[in-house]
A and B are shown apart, each in its own frame.
Chain A
Amino acid sequence: DTAVSQTPKYLVTQMGNDKSIKCEQNLGHDTMYWYKQDSKKFLKIMFSYNNKELIINETVPNRFSPKSPDKAHLNLHINSLELGDSAVYFCASSQFAGVQETQYFGPGTRLLVL
């Protein structure tokens, strides 16, 4: 059983399209995250939800909209995709919100915008 799963694993799309990435965790954790990892491997936090409530909202374009229908799921919708959005997007979860919590990462979604 995969603890943190993401779909799709790969996503190739044209500039200007709208796409969604889904994340699910079966660890019973309260907190979930979205990270973006660029081509230089830099891991940057984008959003975090704790029990469906947004607690981290970094400076990202408002074309990115997260949604947490329940605490086991965190989705990321991206409008009007741009070339610079090409990256690997990782979902992660932790038992509780807090910097001392271990984060468990999903396998990543490799997004390529053409």
Chain B
Amino acid sequence: GQQVMQIPQYQHVQEGEDFTTYCNSSTTLSNIQWYKQRPGGHPVFLIQLVKSGEVKKQKRLTFQFGEAKKNSSLHITATQTTDVGTYFCAGGGSNYKLTFGKGTLLTVNP
């Protein structure tokens, strides 16, 4: 079945440093979504990418969808302590199911 791999599993940065998490699928995706889960919280939708090569920005966050629609990345510029949490990618396949990556836990040292 469809698998979505996400790396790294953990990332610790100093406040102000950049952060990137990567997502790779074993199959071509119809779309990819990104969610953020704060410690003790629930996943919250950030963004969706649908088109090949698509790039979207939300303030300090930049999301990319690969040309082959099999990989994606989330880059945060100049991290802040409010960025702490687990970032999940979720890939859409040919059925109703979104397959979530295992997430990248970001911790930020102030």
Contact = CB atoms under 8 A, between A and B. Distances in A.
B96 A98 contact: yes
Contact of A105 (B30, B43, B48, B103): B43
B42 A102 contact: no
B86 A99 contact: no
B103 A43 contact: yes
A55 B95 CA distance: 10
Interface residues of A, number: 24
A100 B30 contact: yes
B33 interface: yes
Given A48-B97, A103-B43, 7 more contacts: A56-B97, A90-B43, A99-B93, A99-B95, A103-B35, A105-B44, A106-B42
12 contacts: A43-B100, A48-B97, A56-B95, A99-B93, A99-B98, A100-B48, A102-B48, A103-B45, A103-B98, A104-B45, A105-B44, A106-B42
A41 B103 contact: yes
Q: Which 8 pairs, one residue from A and one from B, show the smallest C-beta to C-beta distance?
A: A99-B92, A105-B42, A43-B100, A102-B45, A105-B43, A97-B96, A100-B31, A41-B103
